Structure 1
């Protein structure tokens, strides 16, 4: 199956580099991350095209067959434009997310963040543990045990992606008085292309220019040190973050369709 979606193509490149398994069934891909089974978008189905009308529940059933013990459902569709009416998926019990894929070949210098902020790559074990703890703040309904198991698994994957010498990428963070308050990962997916991963900012430090500073620093790192010529980032179409990315020089290039059913304890702030 040849993937058309730039978002999913870069997603899968990073997942496979980090050890996830991809099975090609012709009409769809099955993606598994055995080391992190609660990772929604590390354990999902990617459809080559939308199902025939009325086939949405059958696809959900196929997910349940492939992942019989999963507490979630995650299904992607390999399209690049807005898919139109998605009500049948909602009636099948799924939340519909039509995200925007953006790309840039350079990044615009943002305004300096408010306050005394240090922006640098995560390096020490403590830096990475702070990253896990920051993510937990954004999921207040999730138990500490469940979230940290997931987040530490993601940390291990990203540290492996970065490589011993940082040749594969980095995760940047903004620190205020030694505390991590914002973070963004950037990793090489193929020669000349780097993909952002999980941009997060503590709610108390939003709208202060900190997130923009972190994304800018990570983008510069990829362009200047990783040989990237194209940066790719995916954002919620209606969220505040997409406006930040556009001001940094990113332009909309595609849509990415993601369908989910997740336990209410994983609701994000």
Structure 2
């Protein structure tokens, strides 16, 4: 199956760095992350096309055959355009549907309001990475457990150690209050990962400061030509990304739910 979606193409490249397996079934891809089976977007089906009316049940049964022990159901749809309306067949079954913005930039500008005192640097020590786990679970729902965040953090640290990219943090008085990763995902492409600011420190310019620093590192040190990130088009942070040079390039579609 030839992928048209820049968002899913970079997603899969980074998942495979983590040890995920991608199996091509022709009409869809099966994405598995054996080391983290509760990771919804590491264990899902990526469909070549949106389901037609009445077809969602077929895909749910296909998912259940592939992941019989999973407590979730998750489906991506390949393509560069679309809307949540294309996922109506899943919505009718009670699935949460999402149309995210795939954003790209070939250069980044400093934010209009950078944080004046934050120390921005790569995560290095055991304490840095322990704080990353704590930050990851702040403000998330119950499925984003410490165990899950620890597995993700271990994978990110391993990829940094193997030279695939870098994980940046913003520290205030030695406390990690915002972070994000950026990794090489294909020739000339670098993909942002898990942009996160602690709920108590939002609106202070930390995200823009980090996005700019990580982007400059990717362009200057990693050989990247195009930076890629996926963002919620309805969340305020997307304005920050646009302000430092990102444009909305594609739409990425997905549907998911926790098993009843």
1:91 equivalent in alignment to 2:92? yes
Matches within 5 A, 1:57-68: 57-68=57-68
Match in the other structure for 1:188: 184
1:204 CA drift (Å): 1.1
- Relative distance call for 1:222 and 1:263 in structure 2 (3 A) is farther
- Find the aligned partners of 2:9 and 2:89 in 1 and give their Cα distance: 26
User: Do 1:131 and 1:183's aligned partners in 2 also have CA atoms closer than 8 Å?
Assistant: yes
- Relative distance call for 1:33 and 1:85 in structure 2 (3 A) is closer
Match in the other structure for 2:168: 172
Range with bigger deviation, 2-11 or 78-87: 78-87
- Relative distance call for 1:200 and 1:223 in structure 2 (3 A) is same
3-state secondary structure, aligned to 2:46: strand
Match in the other structure for 1:226: 222
Structure 2, unmatched stretches of 5+, are none
Matches within 5 A, 1:107-256: 107-139=108-140, 141-142=141-142, 147-164=145-162, 167-256=163-252
1:115 CA drift (Å): 4.9
User: Do 1:14 and 1:161's aligned partners in 2 also have CA atoms closer than 8 Å?
Assistant: no
- Relative distance call for 1:49 and 1:85 in structure 2 (3 A) is closer
3-state secondary structure, aligned to 1:86: helix
3-state secondary structure, aligned to 2:230: strand
User: Do 2:14 and 2:185's aligned partners in 1 also have CA atoms closer than 8 Å?
Assistant: yes
- Find the aligned partners of 2:89 and 2:121 in 1 and give their Cα distance: 45
Q: TM-score, normalised by structure 1?
A: 0.92
Aligned residue-pair number: 259
User: Do 2:32 and 2:42's aligned partners in 1 also have CA atoms closer than 8 Å?
Assistant: yes
1:112 CA drift (Å): 4.6
- Find the aligned partners of 1:207 and 1:17 in 2 and give their Cα distance: 33
Question: How much is the aligned-residue C-alpha RMSD, in angstroms?
Answer: 1.6
Match in the other structure for 2:26: 26
Runs (4+) of structure 1 exceeding 6 A deviation are none
1:148 CA drift (Å): 1.3
Q: TM-score, normalised by structure 2?
A: 0.95
1:161 CA drift (Å): 1.9
Match in the other structure for 1:258: 254
Match in the other structure for 2:43: 43
- Find the aligned partners of 1:111 and 1:10 in 2 and give their Cα distance: 28
Match in the other structure for 1:103: 104
1:193 CA drift (Å): 0.7
1:7 equivalent in alignment to 2:3? no
- Find the aligned partners of 1:153 and 1:216 in 2 and give their Cα distance: 27
1:17 CA drift (Å): 1.7
Structure 1, unmatched stretches of 5+, are 265-269
User: Do 1:195 and 1:232's aligned partners in 2 also have CA atoms closer than 8 Å?
Assistant: yes
1:237 CA drift (Å): 1.2
